Structures are given as structure tokens and as C-alpha cells.
Structure 1
């Protein structure tokens, strides 16, 4: 099936323009270099560690996203048909498949940088109940019935979606975190369930999904349903700016320890992030959470990206390190997004569930490179 060579060029030009406009909006009259975004094609030899990776580990995720992507373009229809025919490849066959069907492009950062920030997230385990009690007194809310989705041009460049509520004959911004968790409790009666740890509930908002062990012993999964429209602000940045924790020491663990050590200031700190997430009960306890592409995320093979720059479903080569400086080089799939995941060389690695995943995600704030694998024109 013939595909115009201009397809790749249009993607590259569109991604570059989006990046320039976004950076210009933040910086006033300054502009990002033209090369920011998906850049020029490079050789497979440019990918450090490519020959050593176990590319077949990404295969289940590729087949899962094919159910979505094959309907959207002729290129993905062709690639997914070839993947179906290959069956269950070994690592060598999977590596050859990607080399045959994709071309590598470096993703360039702003200001001419080649590297960017790589972080991680995981599926947390909380303890809760479907009924409020003295122990289980911190709510997870379902999507509020009175929250409106607002589709206007002024919302297009915001870090979060536009959300509002009607007061009289006016549409006002939806409640912030401080208002929702404040004494007026405007969402009372819309609780999905209750948990026993307010800090765990807060971090669940950041992770986006999790598993709750109920007081009956049953495990239930909670997934991201919507968000209140306020832009995400990392509380770790607040702790750095106020001198509470040194920049080099910021991690999930150090932030959590600070919250536990300062209960009288915990609400103040958490309210610095006005973003608030609403959940739903999902059936993904066994299969794991679904990302923005609506396919199950694969441990250490799915990443969240800025979809304005990297189209969802794009295979990426990730070249970074773990917190102990050991090399972390692997093929991943762009299958999710996040409020804090903005910019060209920016990825959030999904590490899965369990203590290892928590430790890896909690300490992941590394410099790294990204390369996009785009379909070869046919």
C-alpha cells in the first residue's frame, strides 16, 4: 500500500510547531529552536543498547494498541497486519520487525538540548472501605455530577482541561483541591469509597490509578475518570523552593516522610497543587491499569508522554539510567499521558505494582534521551 513520503514530514513539522508555540506562550517573546520536537532520521546504530534489549517484551503491548491504531491510519493497518502474521516472536525476530517497519528519529529538546527528564509511576495499594468509619474517613470521589466540560478556544493551551460549574447564570471554575477537601465538603455524597490514609489518597491522584484492599479482603481497582481542570503543580517543587528538602534529595519517599513529620502543615502543602482527580471502579485488578490509549499498560514498557508532541502509540527508544546510575535502555510504547508530562524529551515510565515498582518510580528523576520510531513510508 503506497503512502506519501510527506506523511512523516507533516508529523515532524506539526510536532515542531506545537512545541514552539507552547514554549513561546510560556516565555513571552522568546522561541524554542526550530529543531525542538521530532527531529531528523538517525541510524539504528545510534541507539545505545538496541542490540541488547529484549524487544519481544513489548509485543503484548503492541498487539493491544493495534486494536486501536489499525483503524486510524494505513501505516498502522499495514504494521499491525504484519505483527499479526508474525505471531509470538523471539527477541531477535521482534528486533528485526521494528527495524523493517520503522525509521528512527531523534527527539530534540528545547534550547538545543538532546536530553530531558525521565520519571516513573506505579500502581499503589491502598486500604479502604465502601463505608465511612473512624478508620476509613478519607474519600475518593467519583466524577461530580455538576462538573461541566468546557470546549472553548481559550482552554486549548492550558496545562489541564477546562472544567466548570454553573452558579446562577454564570459558569465558574470548578472547585480546587483546597475547596473539595475543605470544611464545606462540596462533593459530600459523591464518594466512591473511603481510605485510611490521606497522604496515600493524595499520591493516588498523582499516579492516576491504583488498587484498594477493602476491609472485606476484596481487591478493587480504581481508575482515572476525570480531573477538576486546575493545572497540576508538583508539591516537591514547593518543598525545594521553601528550603524544606534539597533538590537532589526530592523523591516520593522524602516527600511522604515530610508529610508524616509535619501533619499540621500537610494540608497546606497538598493544597499547593489545586489539581484533583476523580475515579471509577474498574475491572483491571488482574490486567493492570489502562492508559490514555485505553489499553492495559505493560510494566516497564509503557510510558506517558506529551501527546501534543508524541502521538499515542508511538514506539520510543528510551536511553536513561536508574537512580543507582545503572543503564536503563529499552523499547517502550507511548500509551499514556499525565498532567506533569509536558515537553518533547519527557517521559514517565510505568513500573507496575509492588514494592520494587514503588521504589523505582519514587526515585526516578533522571536525565535521558528519547527516539521516536515512526512507520517507514511504503
Structure 2
């Protein structure tokens, strides 16, 4: 039964099967911490940039309305309902960024590690592991090289981020974006260092990992190979330099307004309210414009911090608790309510 719009609703919908129980709780906007203080107009601008790709009629209608919305906060409150989706896992926020590397179009004594495009034979089945690719030379002399970089650790982190810029020796810059993977599961090398007793969880960061691998080149290579996942790239230099990298929706993402989510729970393109705790708390309306192999679960999110070393340092420090609340069109929100609810 449809309930009155003015009520603050709390309803759970169970999903059975291989996944843990998933619940959907409909909230009111006054239950979102800091909602009234956010810059809703900034979020609306980001939402407009990708909502044009929605095919479903209800989303398409809301996108048309977004183009003529005068008051951004009123727009979201009028046409959306906040939905808290939970799957039994605690909320976790991490950060990511667009790296900048130095490289060359041709290999030499310094630039020896290739940034590869996707091999044409890769399909839906798992392909070779990272170790087999790098140790076995499966991609050598196949013409798949986009560029060459100087450090295998920087290449590894470029793959984790999924996009980046490479400043070439001739003074030009190319941009690379996600092109595909080998279909192997992602393993955190930070967690591997903790498992081996080398560091405590609070000590691990991208800079710590990078430094350890450089100090221990042999063991460092073995550490990188514990992650079977391997990311391939494509050149996307047509994206203007003042725009963010392309996300999963093939649109530029925006620093501190775009997040990566698990699309099994959160529709790509949807507005998402985040309440991140930690040393740098953040209550903000974002847009789900990206995904990631390590982003799994209803309450798992990766915040895009921007481009370059400074953004990388900020992103690398983020591992915070909190929650995400998805904004869905009103009719979709009410459709999640159990039919027996009175």
C-alpha cells in the first residue's frame, strides 16, 4: 500500500540468495546530517553532466527538470527520496585520484615499464594473472604499448586508480583511461603487508607502500604480484585538460563531488548523500559516476579527490567509517516498500 508522502518512513526489504540480506530504509531529508548546509547547486551541476545518459523514462524526466531547476535544494527535495541501503557491512570510505606520471612513447634505459592497451582476445573469462603477464612477457612485441613509465610501483597505482596523465619527454601530455581488466580478483597489497606483520593497519598508505617496494625491489615485485588483477588502458587525450578523468559512465568526474560505488546496489548516475567521519569529516551530496574492482557492497564508496600529487596525498589518507544514502526518484523509493506494509 502506498503511504502518505509527508510521513517519515522506515521500511525494510529482504533480498535472499547468495548475497547477505539487503535492507532499504526510506529517510526524510532532515535525517541527513548537514543537508541544509551543503552546496546543492554544485551537486546539481555534476548530476546534469551524466543524467543525460539515463534511458529510463522517470530518470530522463528528472534530468529534463534539472536543466530548468532554479533552486537546487528544492529540486532534490521535491523529486527524490533518500534511501539507506544496507547489506550487513559497515560503511567504509576510501579516496582515489588521477595520478600524473612521467613517461615516453618509446622505451629507453629509464622508461622500461609499458602501459598496455587491452589485448583483443580478452573476453568474459579470466585471463592471465599479473605475475603471468609481467613475468611471462605475454604482451611483449604485440604493439599494445600506449606509453612507457619509469617505475613499476607508479604503474601499479595507475592501474588501481584506473586513469591518469602521462607527461612525455617531448613536453606533451597524454591521458589514459580504463580499458578493461584480465578478469582476476583484486587483492589489497596494503592488507598483505599487514598480514605479513610488516606494518600495522593505521600505518599503511600509498606512500608507505611505494617506499617499501622501492627499498625491497625483489620482495616488492612479489608483493605486487599477490594482486592477480591487471588493468589495461585506452588513450583518452581528447578530454580537455581542465576536466576530470572519465568515470564508468564515460563522462568526466568532478573532485569532491563524484564517487565510485558498487552498481549492484547504487544506480550509476544517482545522487548520493555521504556522511563520512574521520579526521576530515564530510557531509556532502555527491553523484555516483564511477566504479572500482575493490568497491563492493551497499555501504562502500570511493571519493574522487582530483588530479596530481596533492590530491593523491589526501586520497591516500582516507579510510573512514560513515554511511551513504542514495537519492532515488520518489516512485522508485515507494516501490521498494513491502506490499504488506500498512
Query: How far did 1:22 drift?
Result: 4.4
Corresponding residue of 1:296: 252
Corresponding residue of 1:211: 165
Once the two structures are superposed, the pairs formed by residues 12-91 of structure 1 within 5 Å of their partners are 17=15, 21-23=17-19, 32=20, 34=21, 36-37=22-23, 39-69=24-54, 72-86=55-69, 89=70
Corresponding residue of 2:265: 309
Corresponding residue of 2:338: none
Query: How far did 1:251 drift?
Result: 1.4
Query: How far did 1:250 drift?
Result: 1.5
RMSD (Å) for aligned C-alpha atoms: 1.9
Query: How far did 1:5 drift?
Result: 6.5
Task: Give the Cα–Cα distance (whole angstroms) in 2 for the partners of residues 377 and 41 of structure 1.
Answer: 12
Task: Give the Cα–Cα distance (whole angstroms) in 2 for the partners of residues 301 and 177 of structure 1.
Answer: 32
Q: Does 1:175 align with 2:131?
A: no
Task: Give the Cα–Cα distance (whole angstroms) in 2 for the partners of residues 217 and 272 of structure 1.
Answer: 35
Distance 1:294 1:21, change over 3 A: farther
SS in 1 for 2:328: strand
Q: Deviations over 1:129-148 (max 9, x none)?
A: 1101111111111111332x
TM-score normalised per structure 2 = 0.89
Task: Give the Cα–Cα distance (whole angstroms) in 2 for the partners of residues 101 and 204 of structure 1.
Answer: 38
Corresponding residue of 1:120: 95
Deviates more, 1:276-285 or 1:195-204: 276-285
Q: Deviations over 1:215-256 (max 9, x none)?
A: 011111011101001111110110111101101112112111
Q: Which has the higher helix share?
A: 1
Task: Give the Cα–Cα distance (whole angstroms) in 2 for the partners of residues 273 and 321 of structure 1.
Answer: 29
Structure 1: gaps spanning 5 or more residues? 7-11, 24-31, 151-161, 164-173
Task: Give the Cα–Cα distance (whole angstroms) in 1 for the partners of residues 44 and 170 of structure 2.
Answer: 37
Corresponding residue of 2:339: none
Q: Does 1:95 align with 2:80?
A: no
**CA contact 1:221–1:285 (8 Å) conserved in 2:** no
Give the one of 137, 143, 150 matched to 2:112: 137
Task: Give the Cα–Cα distance (whole angstroms) in 1 for the partners of residues 265 and 156 of structure 2.
Answer: 28
Task: Give the Cα–Cα distance (whole angstroms) in 2 for the partners of residues 292 and 326 of structure 1.
Answer: 26
Query: How far did 1:343 drift?
Result: 0.7
Corresponding residue of 2:336: none
Q: Deviations over 1:145-197 (max 9, x none)?
A: 332x13xxxxxxxxxxx34xxxxxxxxxx211101111x31101221110111
Query: How far did 1:60 drift?
Result: 2.7
Q: Deviations over 1:33-84 (max 9, x none)?
A: x4x35x1211111111111111111223211112201xx2121122111111
Task: Give the Cα–Cα distance (whole angstroms) in 2 for the partners of residues 353 and 270 of structure 1.
Answer: 24
**CA contact 1:128–1:136 (8 Å) conserved in 2:** yes
SS in 2 for 1:377: helix
**CA contact 1:205–1:277 (8 Å) conserved in 2:** yes
Task: Give the Cα–Cα distance (whole angstroms) in 2 for the partners of residues 316 and 288 of structure 1.
Answer: 19
Task: Give the Cα–Cα distance (whole angstroms) in 1 for the partners of residues 51 and 78 of structure 2.
Answer: 17
Runs of at least 4 residues off by over 2 Å:
20-23
Corresponding residue of 2:181: 227
**CA contact 1:220–1:285 (8 Å) conserved in 2:** no
Structure 2: gaps spanning 5 or more residues? 4-11, 333-342
